[in-house]
Amino acid sequence: MSEPMVPMRDLPPGERLFRLEPRFLWAAKTMSDLPPMGAPEVCFAGRSNVGKSSLVNALVGRKGLARASSEPGRTRELIFFAIAGKDEVERIRIVDLPGYGHAVASKTEIARWNEATRDFLRGRATLKRAFVLVDSRHGLKPNDLEVMRMLDTSALSYQIILTKVDKLKKGELDVVLGATKEALKKRPAAHPEVLPISSHENLGIGQLREEIATFSVD
């Protein structure tokens, strides 16, 4: 006998939010290309090939919404997605940022992505939190720390997500979690909780949805 369906109103906020329809909204190459400000925004930043697009797809439950690729630097614009109800009112926007670090692109193009990303993180009034993705197999790298310093200076709240945790043994995950939390202790804009996530195994996705739902419009 199948389980009875739980009414939407009785679901946790994060699950309710991500039952709504996600859609592509906008792609921007520079600050002048950004969409008009509207619903609250959260963004995903991280090194190239850290798994940002895969995480966005797992988060919204749509395999092909964000393009995932094994080629570093595939996301070459700031990609905006909107979560909206049947009334078409946007509850929240999710922004997939170009990866920083190694990418298969010209130096000029990489510099443009990096400049657009920095400007966005510093100057977007509707941006409520940056989620900084870190490959759990490698831990924090110098360019991750550079982005964190910029976010601290900008006083933009950010939270570390450790990706690909299914690739680690439990003891290895404990070590990288401890090291990451220690690195955040003196960071003024850092959220103290680190989220271990596997997009492939759907681990930690529910907790991330609940975090994001705290910023959404009811």
- Domain positions in the chain: 8-213
Q: How confident is the model at residue 115 (pLDDT cuts 50, 70, 90)?
A: confident
So what's the pLDDT on residue 32?
Answer: 86
Taking residues 118-127, report their average pLDDT. 88
Least confident piece of the model among 90-94, 97-101, 137-141: 97-101
Q: Per-residue pLDDT for 197 more than 90? A: yes
Beta bridge partners of 96: 44, 79
Rounded CA gap, 55 and 163, in Å? Answer: 9
Taking residues 90-95, report their average pLDDT. 96
Rounded CA gap, 74 and 84, in Å? Answer: 26
So what's the pLDDT on residue 5?
Answer: 66
So what's the pLDDT on residue 71?
Answer: 41
Residue pLDDT, tens place only, 32-46: 889 999 999 999 999
Q: What is the mean pLDDT of the chain?
A: 88
Q: How confident is the model at residue 218 (pLDDT cuts 50, 70, 90)?
A: confident
Q: How confident is the model at residue 49 (pLDDT cuts 50, 70, 90)?
A: confident
So what's the pLDDT on residue 3?
Answer: 53
Rounded CA gap, 214 and 115, in Å? Answer: 29
Report pTM: 0.89
CATH class of 8-213: alpha beta
With 0-12 CB in 10 A as exposed, 13-18 as middle and 19+ as buried, what is 77? middle
